[in-house]
Chains A and B, each alone.
Chain A
């Protein structure tokens, strides 16, 4: 799904699939990682690679790790996952949504191998899933954006209108409205996870229409660079992008998979691995916020207080009532807030978004 265009690159890159550890000992536990992009993408895949490196650092004497990068989602990935199984890997992390069905399929064939699938919802007795509560970080960003904006207009670059993207967009806007009820948000869908040129154009269009803080759910730092050049503000996506916007970046959501990887590898070493589903957030530190920069002290304080409140459990971004675009309150399945199922399958805009819901 992400980076559809690395499809062809995968063919070439598979051949270079690197063996990350040089350990020759045969009795070490072999752990494999399947990556969507190149490890140097400074975004999604890079953060998974940082997690793998933590495993090497903490458990390097007991495990041997391997990764395959630029693995195309879909049927091609099945072959790559199976390749890791055949070369003796006992625990395999598949790190993108589109590897879901291939992972399940391979797992059925090899019941003695453990699999961990990132951002999916299908599990099996040897397939666990894990993801991060990105919406928690987005809520903080919404508050920062609304406090930082002088024009009162925020710009949001969306990739595809799928629940994962819609829910964090809603969370951002709820955060923004919580500190400024009159805040306006302009949304542009670029229909791509990754097209730097188009992302830059969308950023320019938003700024030209009066927005002064850019938020994005696409993968390249293009919009950050535009914000930097135009003296506006923006947020990093997936990893810290401060390098591309030293005076523009307010903060970034940083995906922190390392501790989870270490824990799961240790579980296999201890013969205690069981399937399950982990959806970690700020509290479990699966999600980290990059330093709060380029904002006044009072805004920084709001950001830090919000972060503490969310990780402490006293604030839920989707606390009820959540009102949709037609002004109806959404059913409150989680007691005081929307439940996880509603957040994962979100298919409506919250009130205050001045845009038609795609496909409605």
Chain B
């Protein structure tokens, strides 16, 4: 296996949890809800995903458990911010703290155990092709799923009536409400979808990436996913590019260090965040193709008048 192939394989693996979690958050934010609890939902997905896979011996069941855990946590968020109109930023932060604590409790009995990692696709002939074989046909299911999911979200947002209504809700909830759309119901579904994706992204870590569970193992990936949504200026296509770019920066800086290039590793580690700030600055005044799709009602509380 050549070095370039090895790097691309590592980038794909490092980017997948980011893409999964960010895709879900993108949907929630396009519906106008800012959920800062991604890190908490991811780590819950990691703990429950590992627990499920360890008990049943099945990666698939583990993935479902992770998905369910993320959804359950986002349901609490939906209940508080949509049902009781609590501040979204504060609730999201609380959700992260809660998720980290609870996942530690749930996962405590599973620390130090190991499982068989998720199987990788193996097609005869195709997977054995030189260079591209393993990259295109030798991944685990999560990698393919994350790409299919993002494509599906693009289709949903731009090609369906449902997506149009969701964007309307995110851009101007008062008007959407006046037109008779159920703003809170739509937002609830978007939040739950975001939770499911974050849970799945979290579950990817102990199921495929590093097949064991330790409390706090998401190590800030939820925050990177949040930055990624902004970096992508709320567009699904850019989200895929951004996820692989963030993954590539992580992997390449490790390789640069190993190869002995004298680049400060601290600077390299902060590049994804610096890039996000640059993008924010660029899109804030831009028109045309650089224009942002930032939902106008993002983070605002909506209480329908009766």
Contact = CB atoms under 8 A, between A and B. Distances in A.
A195 interface: yes
B254 A196 contact: no
Interface stretch (A34-42, A170-178, A299-307): A34-42
Most chain B C-beta atoms within 10 Å of own C-beta, residue among A5, A6, A187, A194 = A5
Given A205-B251, A209-B3, A188 B257 contact: yes
Contacts of B96: 8
B105 A16 contact: yes
A302 to B, nearest CB: 27
Nearest to A207: B6
Contacts of B264: 358
Contacts of A243: 112, 114
Contact of A11 (B101, B214, B221): B101
B219 A38 contact: no
A208 B3 contact: yes
B299 interface: no
Given A8-B101, A42-B111, A243-B112, A220 B251 contact: no
Nearest to A226: B210
Nearest to A222: B210
A16 to B, nearest CB: 7
Interface size class of B (residues with CB under 8 A): 35 or more
Given A9-B216, A38-B215, 14 more contacts: A5-B220, A8-B96, A11-B97, A196-B214, A200-B210, A201-B10, A202-B254, A205-B251, A208-B255, A220-B214, A225-B210, A225-B212, A356-B262, A358-B264
Nearest to A211: B258
A188 B216 contact: no
A221 B219 contact: no
Given A186-B258, A197-B219, A205-B251, A40 B112 contact: yes
Interface in A315-360: 354-356, 358
A191 B205 contact: no
Contacts of A189: 257, 265
Interface in B160-193: none
B211 to A, nearest CB: 7
Given A13-B101, A225-B210, A196 B258 contact: no
A53 interface: no
B262 A12 contact: no
Nearest to B263: A356
B251 A201 contact: yes
A98 interface: no
Contacts of B89: none
B100 interface: yes
Nearest to B265: A189
B209 interface: yes
A199 B210 CA distance: 9
Contacts of A38: 104, 108, 111, 215
B100 A5 contact: yes
Nearest to B99: A8
A200 B250 CA distance: 12
Given A5-B216, A197-B209, A42 B260 contact: no
Contact of A358 (B108, B215, B265): B265
Nearest to B247: A201
B266 interface: yes
A53 B105 CA distance: 22
Contacts of A70: 104, 215
B265 A196 contact: no
Interface in B1-57: 1, 3, 6-7, 10, 14, 17
Contacts of B219: 5, 192, 194-198
A264 interface: no
Interface in A15-37: 16, 37
Contacts of A191: 265-266, 269
B266 A220 contact: no
A354 B104 contact: no
A150 to B, nearest CB: 17
Nearest to A189: B265
A102 interface: no
B281 interface: no
A198 B250 contact: yes
A342 to B, nearest CB: 26
8 closest cross-chain pairs (CB), A and B: A12-B101, A195-B219, A5-B216, A40-B111, A208-B6, A205-B254, A356-B262, A8-B97
A197 B205 CA distance: 7
Contacts of B111: 38, 40-42
B102 interface: yes
Contacts of A244: 114, 212
Contact of A9 (B215, B220, B257, B265): B215
Contacts of B101: 8-9, 11-13
A13 B215 CA distance: 12
A245 to B, nearest CB: 10
A11 B258 CA distance: 37
B138 to A, nearest CB: 14
Nearest to B46: A196
A354 B259 CA distance: 9
B135 interface: no
Contacts of B1: 208
Nearest to B105: A12
Contact of B216 (A3, A201, A358): A3
Contact of A8 (B7, B100, B259): B100
A221 B210 CA distance: 9
8 contacts: A9-B100, A38-B108, A38-B111, A195-B220, A196-B210, A220-B214, A222-B212, A244-B114
Contacts of B80: none
Interface string B113-151: 010000000000000000000000000000000000000
